Amino acid sequence: MFSLFNVDLKDIKAFAHSKTNCLKEQFHIHCDKTLSYFDDIIQTYEIENIFYRLLKDIAEDDSVDNDKLLKIMREFVFFHDIGKLTPEFQAKLDGKKNETTHSDKSFFILVYAVLKLKKTDKINNKEFIILFLLLYSVYKHHGRLNDILDDIQNFSYRIDRNVLVDILNQLNEAPDDNILDTMTARGFWHKWKDRSTRELVRKLSKDSLSFFILVKMFHSCLISSDYFATMEYKTGQEFYHDILDKELNEEISKNFHETREFEINGRKEKNFNVNINKERDAYRNKNIDDLTWSDNLERKESLNKMRSILNVITEDNIENILKEQSDSRTFFLHIPTGGGKTNISLRLALKIIEKGEIKKIFYVFPFINLIEQSYEALGKFIGLGNMSRLDSRFIDSSDNEDNYQDDTKVFANYVDSLFFNKPVLFMSHVKFFDLFFRNDKNSNYNFYQLANSVVIIDEIQAYKDTVWTEVA
């Protein structure tokens, strides 16, 4: 098994966390649990293939060994808190007040490890750049994920050589003075601000888009894993991913396609999807332009027929596209107001689910009233226990979580809200795009959940059509 350091952390007598009236958490246990949660995220959301695609896109050739880089990325997760091995941090866990930090020291120790890999020719220059930039996620696993190329120039001032040597000794690592000299030299860090280095980074990443996604995804997986591991120590609660599975998919599909009638708030409501499925061939041969709208009864009947025709046409279209272009990921649906977009969107989502393993469905709306309407309309098919509205009901993730930890049930609800832990989610445009464009920790927790999920963005015409491709 690949390891950056030849050490068994069980042999190091150190701790990761403490809490009142409880034994401190042994350091190696937190490292093991964080890596275990990381692996669980990667497996549950099938993210490994996404990492492969991103790394391949970044490299543009065969000069990068993706398997090797992924193994090293796991090591970054395992050793993300290695900076806690300082005497100052251990004293802090015992209640002694000091201003010591650990994420910066973890970052510098892992930079040392990557420089050693490069020095011994175990990684090439391109692999070194990718790994070095990914390490910024370790540096910022308790803070905002800024632009590393802007932040990096001051790093040489933050390195305490003696601290690094002490940690390396604990890791059974004989400190390499040449590498330490390199790290403490201002020139090493300042060169990342050079125009030539910036151009190289952007060339590797096609103007940084692939790097952006890679770093965001890795950071999201890392900080979420760290949170889950810490939560387990502090509350005794484990985290389980609530995603779409075969049983739930079959239940939703049966409700949508076969259940003839629902009782909602004491009133019965017919499910016209049953008739659509029954009369599918007939609707294929109808033309919307031939529908008549002369009186109220005909208008209602014609509107239902129009919606039925649109359901059949759109479902046929997406099925044909998925057959002919299995790698298609983005679809635009143009439906007039009153055409039944909400119903059609779930029909198409179910069709996509048939073709591959989908983890979640995100419904994204510009206004809360649309969230409310769609949540109510689709609840009868999906089941309210499988859905979450992330608007005014959402527990503010900026709250101090300590306010909830004394009540197990309340804290579980807080965590489920913080981590969007339902299979089907309803949210605003703002909250959705915060996942991409905000760089604070809370906003980036859930970026990984977009992997292998269906995202339905309503009213996309609110954005300029020139940016639709970028949004996709």
Q: How far apart are CA 32 and CA 28, in angstroms?
A: 6
Distance CA 340, CA 403 (A): 43
**pLDDT in the model for residue 190:** 73
In this structure, are residues 311 and 321 in contact, taking their beta carbons and an 8 Å threshold? Answer: no
CA 352 – CA 326 distance, rounded (Å): 10
The two structure tokens encoding residue 125: 């220059």
9-235 maps to CATH 1.10.3210.30? yes
Q: What is the mean pLDDT of each run of 10 residues along the chain (472 residues)?
A: 88 94 95 98 97 87 90 98 97 92 94 96 92 93 82 74 96 96 82 72 65 92 98 94 96 95 85 86 74 59 80 88 79 82 93 90 92 92 94 58 67 89 94 89 94 91 64 60
Extents of the domains making up the chain: 9-235, 242-247+359-471, 272-352
- Cα distances (angstroms) measured from residue 92 to each of 18, 31, 109, 406: 9, 19, 20, 23
Give the pLDDT score at 395. Answer: 47
First to last CA, the chain: 38
Report the candidate in 137, 125, 24 with the shortest Cα–Cα distance to residue 84.
Answer: 24
pLDDT at 187: 75
Please give the helix or strand (H or E) that residue 406 lies within, else none: none
- In which order are the strands placed within the sheet that holds 424-428? 387-389, 424-428, 361-365, 454-457
Distance (Å) of CA 394 to CA 121, 380, 384, 388: 50, 21, 15, 9
Question: Residue 25 pairs with which residues in a beta bridge?
Answer: 17
pLDDT of residue 280: 81
Report how far Cα 27 is from the mean position of its chain's Cα atoms. Answer: 26
User: Are 318 and 326 a contacting pair, CB within 8 Å?
Assistant: no
List the Cα angle 202/207/213 in 5-degree steps: 100
